[in-house]
Amino acid sequence: MQCTLQALYARQPQQGDDGLPHPIDATTRIKPEEGLELLALARQLGARNLLEVGLAWGFSSQFLLAALALEGGGRLVAIDPYQDSDWHGIGRRLAAASAEATIALGNGAFRWIGKRSDWALPQLEQEGARFDLVFIDGYHRFDDVLIDLSFAARLCRPGGVLVLHDMWLPSVRSVVAFIESNRPDLLRMPSPCPNLALFRREGEDQRRWDHFVPFESAVGHWEELS
Ligand SMILES: C[S@@+](CC[C@H](N)C(=O)[O-])C[C@H]1O[C@@H](n2cnc3c(N)ncnc32)[C@H](O)[C@@H]1O
């Protein structure tokens, strides 16, 4: 996993499902410090069941698999409908290879769901899946992030943590403002990485049917975080 991450951050071309090497772009990825925070968080939680929305080249999945390996086992589910069309299957290939090459994991430790998150997350709920940590880094429009967060909260065990990426975007910061004002069951946790927002699931969502607290949506990109 470490070698794979080094190669990815060095932007070494990676082999796709077509057998050809493909260049890795400079922006579609979490930063190393964000990945290390995910890893540390997963370890703090003793997490064995991890979920991520948005796989792309698989930077974040490598950190999450490393956390599972250090924990001695577990499972990562990654949702991304565009692995074949946009990413040459590279994130999926690398994650599967890392899981298979790790004694503590094996090839059952990684599962890819090639559907949109608004289809895949309810499917996981119907399967009875539960996760200790959910990392949300899929489509970044306000309503898509809110949908991901709302479904993911139901999949997260009490005491588990939901992580949103890309706080530099006003869409994501507006979702965070909504949660902080309207979801007492999701408690914001401090994060050393300002581009990540962390929420611990405290318990059930017990709001009334007509509950709504006005919240202030965010404006402007934080360019310095991008
Ligand atoms: C910023 S990239 C993820 C980067 C990845 N987390 C990493 O650090 O390596 C966003 C990903 O979300 C995926 N995506 C876009 N729309 C989606 C949707 N509706 N459901 C799930 N994933 C989606 C894209 O295909 C892309 O791979």
pLDDT at 225: 54
For residue 70, give the DSSP letter: H
Q: How far is the CA of 82 from the centre of ligand 1 (A)?
A: 8
Q: How far is the CA of 79 from the centre of ligand 1 (A)?
A: 8
79 CA: nearest ligand 1 atom: 21
pLDDT at 220: 84
Cα–Cα distances in angstroms (integers) from residue 94 to residues 5, 105, 153, in the given order: 10, 14, 28
Q: What angle do CA 13, 60, 45 make, to 5 degrees?
A: 155
For residue 217, give the DSSP letter: P
Average confidence (pLDDT) per 10 residues, the chain, 226 residues: 93 98 98 98 98 98 98 98 98 98 94 98 98 98 98 98 97 97 98 97 97 93 65
Name which CATH class applies to 2-11+30-203: alpha beta
pLDDT in tens, 67-85: 999 999 999 999 999 999 9
pLDDT at 14: 98
Q: How far is the CA of 29 from the centre of ligand 1 (A)?
A: 10
Domain ranges of the chain: 2-11+30-203
pLDDT at 224: 55
Question: Dihedral of CA 87/5/172/26: which sign?
Answer: negative
Claim: this prediction has a pTM higher than 0.75: yes
166 CA: nearest ligand 1 atom: 1
